[in-house]
Amino acid sequence: METEKKKLNISVSPEVAAALRKFAFESTGHMRGVSDVAEKAIREFLEHQGIKIEGQV
């Protein structure tokens, strides 16, 4: 069961955007994976910073 997702518009440098698109495409084989890759990266960054994510299982 997939959880409901909220949209969050963020801006990143062109270099970061290009790297994210390239990694997502290489990892998933399609561009639809960009959001999933970005979420995983942000989640790992926040956890590394000691920030607890609400509702995390």
Please state, rounded to an integer, the average pLDDT across all residues of the chain.
85
Confidence of residue 1 (pLDDT cuts 50, 70, 90): very low
C-alpha closest to that of 37 among 48, 26, 52, 49: 26
Token pair 């609400």: residue: 54
Question: Is 60 exceeded by the pLDDT of residue 42?
Answer: yes
pTM for this entry: 0.68
Q: How much is the pLDDT for 51?
A: 94
* pLDDT, position 47: 93
Residue pair 27/37 in contact (Cβ under 8 Å)? The answer is yes
- Give me the mean pLDDT over the 2-23 stretch: 87
Q: How confident is the model over 29-48, as a mean pLDDT?
A: 86
